[in-house]
Amino acid sequence: MPHDLLPPGRKSGIPSATTSRNMYHLSLHMSYLTNGRGALDALVTRKRICMKGCDIIHEGKEGRSAYLIYNGWACSYRLLRNGTRQIINFHVPGDLLGIRRLLSPNFDDNLCAITCIELGEIDIDSLLTMLCTDNRLSMSILWSAFREEAIIAQHLVDIGRRKPINRAAHFFLELGARLNLAGFGAKTEYDCPLTQSLIADALGLTAVHFNRVLKQLRELNAMTFHNGRVEFLDDRKLEHLADFDSSYLR
């Protein structure tokens, strides 16, 4: 039974990642979200800190909150009866978490802190009432739902039809693009606090095999991933491997 993100964990040995920025410099990655952001920020009632490995939202548990990530990383995942785990999506600073339970708790996945994470807590009920009056806010929420759906759909295509090496290339490119849009990381490198087995669980591979795939990427001089840092060595080669087009992120 995999449990590498279940225990509360010790003090993170992992560098605090890409999050050493002003908390107001959040992922203003698109017009709608930018417009709605002010209204969203206003709804944050309190700050919450989650330690690395803690569940932020647990499946089935009633909860009346959504969260805005100020800094740190999280992931949504599902555990299967056969003991495996599928990670649905990783979440980076600026992302909005848990909106799906706005309308139904059944829609939501487990949500777990990958690094120590700082969250703005938003009360679902006040969000709901605000939605009725503030139109830009509803647009913002809708946008963010669509964007997440597009990311997940892309992820689905990745897992369903791409070979592991292409899948991995696509993953790192997408993550880089997302961080870039959120105002973090450079074009050719970024901090990434994920472990190999976390990524493997997102890509539908075993950790062992993902490790070999990383080796291949290294030997192709396409990219490296060491000590929580991703470096793109040959963008064109990578993009060719990944068949990547970032337009769905905008």
Task: Provide the binding-site residues for DNA, judged by CB under 7 A.
Answer: 4, 7, 10-11, 13, 163-164, 195-197, 204-209, 211-212, 214-215, 226
Q: Which residues of 197-233 are buried (b: 16+ CB within 10 A; e: fewer)?
A: bbbbbbbbbeeeebeebbeebeeeebbebeebebebe
In angstroms, what is the minimal distance from the CB of 26 to its own copies? 19
Question: Which of 120, 122, 113, 121 is CA-nearest to residue 50?
Answer: 113
Residue type for 51, please?
Answer: M
In angstroms, what is the minimal distance from the CB of 175 to DNA? 15
Among 52, 91, 162, 178, binds its own copies (CB under 8 A): 162
Are residues 90 and 74 in contact, defined by beta-carbon separation less than 8 angstroms?
Answer: yes
1 binds its own copies (CB under 8 A): no
57 binds its own copies (CB under 8 A): no
Q: Which of its own copies, DNA, none interacts with 155 (beta carbon under 5 to 8 A by kind)? A: its own copies
Nearer to DNA, 13 or 24 (CB): 13
Q: Which of its own copies, DNA, none interacts with 11 (beta carbon under 5 to 8 A by kind)? A: DNA
Question: Which of 118, 117, 119, 115 is CA-nearest to residue 10?
Answer: 115
In angstroms, what is the minimal distance from the CB of 244 to its own copies? 11
Are residues 2 and 86 in contact, defined by beta-carbon separation less than 8 angstroms?
Answer: no
State how far the Cα of 154 lies from the Cα of 149, in Å rounded to an integer.
Answer: 8
Nearer to DNA, 39 or 169 (CB): 169
165 binds its own copies (CB under 8 A): no
State how far the Cα of 116 lies from the Cα of 58, in Å rounded to an integer.
Answer: 17
208 binds its own copies (CB under 8 A): no
